[in-house]
Structure 1
C-alpha cells in the first residue's frame, strides 16, 4: 500500500508543481524547445509560488480533510466562504470566479446558494461560463472519494457549479476527477475511465475531444482558457510526451515523464499555469509524490502560507477522512541522536532525526529522508524532504533509483551554495548511509562499495538494506568518474546530464 500512499500524496504536490512551473509564462505564446522552462517565478509570483489554481484547490482540500462530505450544503458554504476571504487579498483571481464571489457577498456573507445563483445569472446573461476555473481546482474532490466513485461524480459537479454552471465545465471536472481517482488506485493514466458518467448524448463528443488531444501537440489547443481546450492541452501534454525507459547509469528514469509532460504543458502557451496544474494533478496521481523533482519540492509554497510539506500532509488528511494522524514521530527504540561528519566532506553531517531537533549551530540546510512532524520542520533555512522508505519491496519505493539520485543532487546543490547540510533519517541506519555513500562516490570518483565502507566506518552499526545497495550499483556502476562532483561547484556529471537530455545540472 506504500505506493498507493505515494500516489495520494502526489496529487496536490503534482498540481502545485505544474502551477508554479507555469506561472512565469502565463499568457505568453507557445514556447519553443530552445527556450528554458524553469520554476523561476516572475511578475507577482516568487520562484516556486503557486497561483489561484492551487489556492482554490486547497480551500476544497481543507474542507475534505475534516471528513466532511463535499456534497453537503454546509461543506460548500465553508468552501465558498474560504474562497471569498482568500479572493480579497489574492494576487490573482480568475475573472469569472471573482465576478461570482463578489456578487455572492454583495448582500451578506458569501454562501454556496448565493454563489451558485450568481453563477447561474452570469451564465444566463452571457452564455459564456465555460472557463477553466473549476477544472483547475477539482483534484481534491477525487481524493475525497477514493472509495465511492458515484459520490465523487456528484461532488465534482456540485463543486464546479459553485462558480461554473456550464455543462462543459461540469463534464470536464467529472472526466478529470475520474482519471485522478483511477490513477491513484491503479497507477494508470486513463482519461476515458469517467466517460460512462457523462450524459449519453454528450459521450461521443467527449470521446472525440480526447481523441483530438492524443493526436495533436498541446499548443494546438490554443484557446486553453476554455475548459475543454485546457483539458485537451493537459491530456495532450501527458499522452504525446514519451515515457522514458529506466536507465539509472545514464540518469534517465520512467518517473521523468512527470517532469517532461509538465514541461510540455507549459510550452503550450497562454494559460500555462492552469494547463500544467491540471496535468500535474493527474501525473502526480499516477507517478506519486516520489516522482516530483526534489528541486521543485524545495521551492514550492503559497497561500495559505504552507510548503510542499503542508500539501503532502493535506492530501494524507483527505485520504484519512478526518481521522487524526496516528503516526508515532517519537520513533521509539531508534538511535535518533546518531551523528557524524561525512568522511569526504566536513560540510555534510549524517545523522538521525534527533539531530534535526537540536540542530548544530553551523547547519544551515537540511535534507530529510524520513517522515517529519510539522513541529520538526526547520524554519528559516532550506529544507528538502525526500520520500524514501527503508524496506526492500519494490512497491515501497516505486522510483528508488530516481529518488536516491534526486536526494544526492539536492545535497550537492546545497553544498555548491556553500551551505552546511544535515542529511538525516530516523537513526542513520539505512537511508542516510545510502545517500552518504552515493554522494561520496560522486564527490571523490570512487566506487560505491568503497564510499559505503567509509561512510559506515563513521556510522557504526549502519547497514543499508539490500535494495538500497543494489540501487547504488545500478546508479554508479563501475564508472565513478562520470559523476564526479566537487564542492567548489565543478560537476563532471554535466556530461551525463547532456547525454540523458536533462536540462538540470547534476
Structure 2
C-alpha cells in the first residue's frame, strides 16, 4: 500500500480517537436525560462543567485520559519497536498519572487506578488486573491497530494482551480491546465494512483465551445480536439507534457495555463526526465510546475524511500534528515485531 494512503488512514484513526474523546467530555458519566437537559444537542467542543466530577478537569477541545493513555502506549511501542515489559509500560503510565495528579483526583477508571497504584508501590497488581472488567484496555488500544497487520489475528491479539495486562488481564477486557484494535487495523488497510466485521469477530475468541476467564458477557455476541435488532449501517434514524444502544447495550464503563456500544455506533454511523456527535449525546461513558468509535471510523475514512476545521482545532488546542505522528507509525510498522 502506498505510504501516503497509510499515513492518511493512520492519522485518521488517531485524530478520530481524539475527536470522539474531546467532543464527549461534557456529558461524561451522566445519564442521557441529564446530558440533554443541560446541553441540549452537543455538536461543538465544550468545557467540562464544575458539577461533573469526571469532566471538570477538561477544557473545550482537550482530550481526556483515554487519548492520553493511548499516546503513552504509542510512544512506548514506538520506542521499543515491540511491546515493552509490563514494568516499563507501568512506569510510563505512572509517570503520566503523577504529572496529572491522577492518583488524587477523579481521573482514572477504577481498574487502572488500583492496578497502577499497586505498580507504583512495588506491589503485585495481579489481584486487580485479573478482575478488571472495565474499558480501560480498549479505550487506549487504537495505536495497536495502527501498527499490526490486519490478517495476523494471533499477533494482533497477543499484542493487545501484552499491552493490556498492565491494568486489565481478563478475557472480556482483552477480547473487547482486540476487537477495537482489529477494526482499526482492518480499516487502515482499506478493507470494507463487511471485511472489517469478519476480522473483528475472528479475533475475539483468540484474544479471549489470553485473559483470565470471567462471567462477563461476550462483546462479540452482544454486537451480533444488536446488529439484528438495529439494522445497523442501513437505518437512517440516529436517535432511534442511539436510544436502542443506551437501553439495550448500555453505555456504562464495563467493557461488555461501552465497547459493544462504541462498535455499534461505528457500524451504524460509518462516519467519524456523525459517530462523535452520537456518542457525545448518548449518556454514559461518552468520551470513551467516542474515542473508540471514531478511531474506527477515522481509520476507514482517513484524516482527509474528517472535518478539516475540527481537526485543525484539535491540533491547535492539544499541540498535535496528526500526519507527523502517523508518519512515525508508518515507519515503525516496517520493523515492529513481538519478542518471544
Q: How does 1:149-298 map to 2 (within 5 A)?
A: 149-189=153-193, 190-199=196-205, 205-214=218-227, 215-216=229-230, 217=241, 218-220=245-247, 221-241=249-269, 257-298=271-312
Q: How does 1:412-451 map to 2 (within 5 A)?
A: none
Q: Secondary structure at the match of 1:194?
A: helix
2:16 to 14, 17, 20: 14
Separation (CA, whole Å) in 1 of partners of 2:197 and 2:135: 17
Structure showing greater Rg: 1
**Equivalent pair of 1:65/1:320 in contact (CA under 8 Å):** no
Higher relative contact order (CA 8 A, sep 6+): 2
**Equivalent pair of 2:8/2:323 in contact (CA under 8 Å):** no
Number of residues paired by the alignment?
A: 292
2:99 to 73, 79, 89: 89
Partner residue, 2:53: none
Q: Secondary structure at the match of 2:117?
A: helix
1:191-229 per-residue CA deviation (whole Å, 9 max, x = no partner) reads 341332333797995542112343343323324200121
Q: Secondary structure at the match of 1:224?
A: coil
Partner residue, 2:143: 140
Q: Does 1:57 align with 2:70?
A: yes
**Equivalent pair of 1:48/1:301 in contact (CA under 8 Å):** no
Separation (CA, whole Å) in 1 of partners of 2:208 and 2:116: 29
TM-aligned CA deviation for residue 283 of structure 1 = 0.8
Q: Secondary structure at the match of 2:99?
A: coil
Q: Does 1:307 align with 2:319?
A: yes
TM-aligned CA deviation for residue 306 of structure 1 = 4.9
Separation (CA, whole Å) in 1 of partners of 2:284 and 2:188: 29
Partner residue, 1:35: 41
Separation (CA, whole Å) in 2 of partners of 1:201 and 1:291: 31
Separation (CA, whole Å) in 2 of partners of 1:298 and 1:211: 36
Q: Which has the higher helix share?
A: 2
Q: Secondary structure at the match of 1:165?
A: coil
**Equivalent pair of 1:62/1:314 in contact (CA under 8 Å):** no
Separation (CA, whole Å) in 2 of partners of 1:82 and 1:96: 17
2:89 to 69, 79, 89: 79
Separation (CA, whole Å) in 1 of partners of 2:279 and 2:246: 8
Q: Structure 1-normalised TM-score?
A: 0.53
1:69 to 62, 68, 82: 82
2:133 to 130, 143, 161: 130
Separation (CA, whole Å) in 2 of partners of 1:80 and 1:123: 12
Separation (CA, whole Å) in 2 of partners of 1:10 and 1:266: 19
Gaps of 5+ in 2: 49-55, 210-216, 231-240, 336-340
1:100 to 96, 108, 115: 115
Partner residue, 1:317: 328
Q: Return closer, same or farther for 1:10/1:176 CA change in 2, 3 Å cut-off.
A: same
Separation (CA, whole Å) in 1 of partners of 2:178 and 2:305: 25
**Equivalent pair of 2:20/2:290 in contact (CA under 8 Å):** yes
Report the more deviating stretch, 276-285 or 39-48.
Answer: 39-48
Separation (CA, whole Å) in 2 of partners of 1:314 and 1:93: 25
- RMSD of equivalent CA atoms: 2.8
Q: Secondary structure at the match of 1:38?
A: coil
Gaps of 5+ in 1: 108-113, 244-256, 325-506
Q: Return closer, same or farther for 1:207/1:98 CA change in 2, 3 Å cut-off.
A: closer
TM-aligned CA deviation for residue 230 of structure 1 = 0.9
Q: Which has the higher strand share?
A: 1
